[in-house]
Amino acid sequence: MMRPTFDLAVYLVLDPGLCAGIGMVETARRAVAGGATMVQLRDKDGGTARMIETGRALKTALAGTGARLIVNDDVAAAVEIGADGIHIGQGDMKATEARRLIGPDAILGLTVETPELAAQADPMLVDYIGAGPVFATPTKLDHKTPVGFDGLATQIAASPVPAVAIGGLKAPHVAAALAAGALGVAVVSAICGQPDPEQAARILRQEVNACRRMSSDSSVRV
């Protein structure tokens, strides 16, 4: 097996509370139908058994879509689910330990909040960083100090691995996030709990695609 390829364009981070209306699985299904490229199962209070149950349903829902399924923090759940990867933060286990547990064929994402931490991401272990938080957000009450787009750019410039931006991001912020060097945006409330999660994801994806087209056009201009 090989580590799966992945596209950070529109990275949906699920929140059980915000998704309560239609549930996390249906939210993910609709978001991926709209163009979300990655889905992270994040359920801080769920416990491993609930993570595994939801994760298995997510894996079934995403099968054949090309979207990657990432599990937050819980390596045991990720392995049971057969997820594409895991995402850890600075307060979780070290990247070396996470990589040892998940093996060489899983995607490993790491949250960083400073350029120093971004610079320490080991490309032999870590596949991408989640950089930010760009803005303060009520979705994660204990988030670190918001860094804005300039701070985001500094983190990403320091990182040896690709980055997805996170923290209060909505469709109008996509261009600035990509201009700061992010390959995509990680969002919770821009999709979870929205009246039309599919359309919300579609708009985000269209923004990312448009920005990527513009930057590839300008790179061939002489």
Binding-site residues for Mg(2+), please? 73, 92
Contact status: 80 vs Mg ion (CB under 5 A): no
Interface residue with ligand TZP among 169, 177, 201, 204 (CB under 6 A) is 169
Measured between alpha carbons, how far is 142 from 157 in angstroms, rounded to an integer? 25
Task: Identify the burial level of 47 via C-beta atoms within 10 angstroms of its C-beta, where 0-12 means exposed, 13-18 middle and 19 or more buried.
Answer: exposed
Q: Exposed e or buried b for every residue in 148-162, given b needs 16+ CB within 10 A?
A: bbebbbbbbebbebb
Measured between alpha carbons, how far is 29 from 5 in angstroms, rounded to an integer? 20
Q: Find the shortest distance in angstroms from Cβ 40 to Mg ion.
A: 10
At how many degrees (to 10) do helices 24-34 and 197-220 cross?
40
Q: Find the shortest distance in angstroms from Cβ 215 to ligand TZP.
A: 23
Which of Mg ion, ligand TZP, none is residue 189 near (CB under 5 to 8 Å by kind)? ligand TZP
Residue 6, classed as helix, strand or coil, is coil
Angle (CA) 161-110-56 rounded to 5° is 115
Q: Find the shortest distance in angstroms from Cβ 140 to ligand TZP.
A: 4
Query: Using CB under 6 A as the criterion, what x/- string covers residues 79-118 for binding ligand TZP?
Result: ----------------------------------------
Which of Mg ion, ligand TZP, none is residue 109 near (CB under 5 to 8 Å by kind)? none
Alpha carbon of residue 115 to chain centroid: 19
Query: In the structure encoding, which two tokens stand for residue 89, read together?
Result: 């933060």
Contact status: 202 vs ligand TZP (CB under 6 A): no
Cite the annotated binding site by residue number.
Answer: 40-44, 72-73, 92, 111, 137-140, 168, 188-189
Which of Mg ion, ligand TZP, none is residue 205 near (CB under 5 to 8 Å by kind)? none
Residue 160, classed as helix, strand or coil, is coil
Query: Using CB under 6 A as the criterion, what x/- string covers residues 117-156 for binding ligand TZP?
Result: ---------------xx---x-xx--x-------------
Measured between alpha carbons, how far is 38 from 130 in angstroms, rounded to an integer? 13
Q: Where does this chain touch Mg ion (CB under 5 A) — which range of 8-16, 70-78, 112-120, 175-183?
A: 70-78
Query: In the structure encoding, which two tokens stand for residue 125, read together?
Result: 């272990």
Q: Which residues bind Mg ion (CB under 5 A)?
A: 73, 89, 92
User: Which residues lie near ligand TZP (CB under 6 A)?
Assistant: 13, 132-133, 137, 139-140, 143, 166-169, 187-190
